[in-house]
Amino acid sequence: MQGFWSGKRVTVTGGAGFLGQHVVRRLRSYGAEVYVPRKRDYDLTTLDAALRCLLEHPCDMLIHAAAYYGGIGINVHEPGRLYYQNLVMGANLMEAARLAKVAKVVNIGTACSYPGYLEGHLREEDLWAGPCHASVVNYGLTKKMLAVQGLAYKKQYGLDSIHLILTNLYGPGDSYNPERSHVVAALIRKWVEAELARAPSIEVWGTGKPIREFLYVEDCADAIVLAAERYQDTAMPLNIGTGKGTSIRELVETINDLTGYAGTITWNTDKPDGAAMKVLDVSRMKAALDGWTPPTDLRQGLAKTIAWYRAHKAEADAKW
């Protein structure tokens, strides 16, 4: 990859965020010249600022990893902001990329965009088989629309772009703030704090039976950089994941083992489980990325993440 990226000018929105910082680090290690726009300089929710950013910092490739997102709290309390910021930021950047003649755009999407009723292994062809789940529609739909815009801009303007659909991420640099954290970060915080407080028990919602997929953030960054180089199909999004399902119970037991927590775990089965199984089908990813698969297994990734959280707890709890 070093030969491809050496001297390439790449703009990474969200390059200071959880995922973006790892993408930036990899690009720079391969010799790319990376620019990370900051909101204080360019408010990407306005077209003028998005275009000014790309004109003042010309690039060969734009990787759009910026997003306003979070857990259930954000979806419940800020659905309008969640919808508006993500929708207009994505639309503005695609239009600005066209006007600034950027060679290729890489849009970072989400598995939340898949139809809410679907279970099992989700294939890219299923993306338009139904509406997003009501709990995440305000975020999932805005990312889904980037795939539509990419195809429309390819047909009318010849702008090259790809759309990557990411599964659930975890790892160093994430937010552990309850309003912004997702399941892995939320569980790790709960376990570390229970250990510090010597709490006798920890409650977990549901039965633990649902199966989900978890991708270590550094592996995801590797996949994005590979796909940016090698994947060219604007018409077909590309899943990025492990293709391996893990039950919530197995996730909890692994975190429990790695933290060394000695108390008891109680399962509140009055709380809903959600879909029985949601895992991405990664057969297209393996073919497109020459057989690449994520090298970090769940236990190894969780161990690294727990160690990072313990060392940076105050920072991680306050982030975003």
* Dist CA 31 CA 88 (whole Å): 31
- 237 and 227 in contact (C-beta within 8 Å)? no
- 138 and 83 in contact (C-beta within 8 Å)? yes
3-state secondary structure of 187: helix
41 secondary structure, DSSP code: T
**∠ CA 271-273-274, rounded to 5°:** 125
Identify the residue whose tokens are 């600034």: 100
- Which element (helix H / strand E) includes 259? helix 248-259
Tokens of 3: 């030969």
Instruction: Identify the bridge partners of residue 62 per DSSP, sorted by sequence position.
Output: 11, 105
Asked if 139 is an active-site residue, the reply is: yes
User: Which residue of the set 139, 153, 170, 231 is catalytic?
Assistant: 139
Q: Report the candidate in 174, 19, 26 with the shortest Cα–Cα distance to residue 10.
A: 26
3-state secondary structure of 216: strand
Number of alpha carbons in the 13 Å side-chain half-sphere of residue 48: 0
Instruction: Identify the bridge partners of residue 240 per DSSP, sorted by sequence position.
Output: 166
- 248 and 212 in contact (C-beta within 8 Å)? yes
Task: Report the catalytic residues.
Answer: 139
